[in-house]
Amino acid sequence: MTAALLSHPCMSQDALKDCRDADFIASMLAFELALVRAQERIGAVPSGTTADMAERLEHHAFDVAELARGVASGGNPAIPFVKAGRGALPDHLKRYWHQGATSQDVVDSALMHLLTPRLGAIDGLLERCRTAGMALMRTHADTPMVGRTLMQQALPITFGAKVAQWTVGLEQARRRLGEVADQGLPVQFGGAVGVHSGWGDEGMALMQAIAQELGLSCPILPWHTNRQPIHTLQTALDAVAGAVENLALDVSLLTQTEVGEVSEPSAPGMGESSSMPHKRNPVRCALIRSSARRLHGHTSVVLGAVAQPLERGLGEWHAEWVPLTESVLLVEGALEQAAVLLEGLEIHPERMAANLAVTGGAIMAEPVARLLTPSLGPERAKALAADAAEQARQQGRRYADVLVSLVQEGGDAVNGGADASTAASSQASTLPSAEAIRAATDPALYIGSSKHQVRAALEWLQR
């Protein structure tokens, strides 16, 4: 393709090593040999043909440049490959080569064959993410931090609860892709128009046999223009990308200089800036987010190509190859980053604590108001809670201290008069104690179901 350096950082280099031209050619060859072997079994070709053919072709050096020239005129890589393969065979074997198959059988099956091991690799990376996520959940189940909605500080959560969200999302996507992998990617075999022309009823059995040979699943019917299997696979990959992207977005936000609650794991040269010595760029997040965006673009191509005309696409099929293949490599690349990120994420609980305090207590106004509501009524309670936060900020005092004084003054300084719904006379007796007030301003005591959520998520993750 075009300058590899531009695509490089987002894709899994490990995976790329197994998805080059030579690998794809090997997968096409694997299909052709499986086809012959299946035919040999039912006596459609002479015994020994497969072994004979395999011997001649498995070490044959296909000329990639020549195939490349042929692919432009044929429109797909199977056409020059089949020609080259036939050319490399002696006459007595030529007629058994590619017998009853069509280009799409070769390309689709080869792609499924090529991508199958990648699903395993992706699953492995997702397991690493899960393990790392679970460790963080356990360690930080009750590490308080501020929860942020619309990027504004809202109320406390725990870091464990946040990691639970990431980890559950990743695991949901893992299980979804896992179902696709467990079912097996399907072989393609239908011949020229998808009905095994020339084979009659044996066609379906051949399809089954080839699937077994290749370790692929056997579809209900050939799927030349019923692309549901591709839709299922691509959207499952997209779901994984979305789950990793979700993690990367959060980490990007939490690593901001002014937030600083987590840092990407440091590694030599990683994220350094050529000009600014103090910077550590969240490069892993950038790469993950970039991969995910490119993947969503690929998905849009695949979705738009689900409807294919009659017995073979006219461009729709051809448009699928690169998006699907690159999606796998992009997901795998993103997960490699994500696994390292989760395994080595640096957590800064002291910054989390500092950020909880940054509003002078205002983020605790909600629980304080809740505490005061029985005695003051909801409106006055809210007003007092907000007022105290404002005073605390202006005077640089602790929120709890201001609150206690205000409450001890009878709460009367605020908003004058009780709510309609509250008997003014009964207030003094029911006002909460200073201790209760202080407790209500402690974020660490107002983390809701955070710990419960971590437990519940751990249980589900281990299931």
DSSP string spanning 370-413? HHHHHHHHHHHHHHHHHHHHHHHHHHT--HHHHHHHHHHTTTTT
Please indicate whether residue 273 is annotated as part of the active site: yes
The nearer residue to its own copies, 7 or 217, going by C-beta atoms, is 7
Closest to its own copies by CB, 81 or 132: 81
Q: Least distance to its own copies from the beta carbon of 194, Å? A: 7
103 contacts 79 by C-beta, under 8 angstroms: yes
Nearer to its own copies, 50 or 373 (CB): 373
Q: Which is nearer to its own copies, 214 or 292 (CB)?
A: 292
User: Which residue among the candidates 47, 197, 273, 426 is catalytic per the annotation?
Assistant: 273
Distance CA 197, CA 193 (A): 7
Smallest distance from the beta carbon of 268 to its own copies, in angstroms?
8
Q: Are the CB atoms for 334 and 292 separated by under 8 Å? A: yes
Rg (CA), the chain: 31
312 annotated active-site: yes
196 vs 332: CA distance, rounded Å: 36
Q: Letter for the amino acid at 336?
A: E
With contact defined as beta carbons under 8 Å apart, do 335 and 292 qualify? no
Q: Which residue, 358, 346, 348, 303, is CA-closest to 327?
A: 303
Kindly tell me which of 37 and 227 has the beta carbon lying closer to its own copies.
227
**DSSP assignment string, 94-110:** HTTTTTT--HHHHHHHH
Q: Report, in Å, the least distance between residue 408 CB and its own copies.
A: 21
Q: How far is the CB of 275 from its own copies (least distance, A)?
A: 5
Q: In whole angstroms, how close is the CB of 96 to its own copies at the nearest point?
A: 11
Catalytic residue among 128, 280, 312, 351: 312
Give the CA-trace dihedral at 121, 125, 128, 133, to 10 degrees. Answer: -150
Any idea which residues carry the catalytic annotation? 273, 312
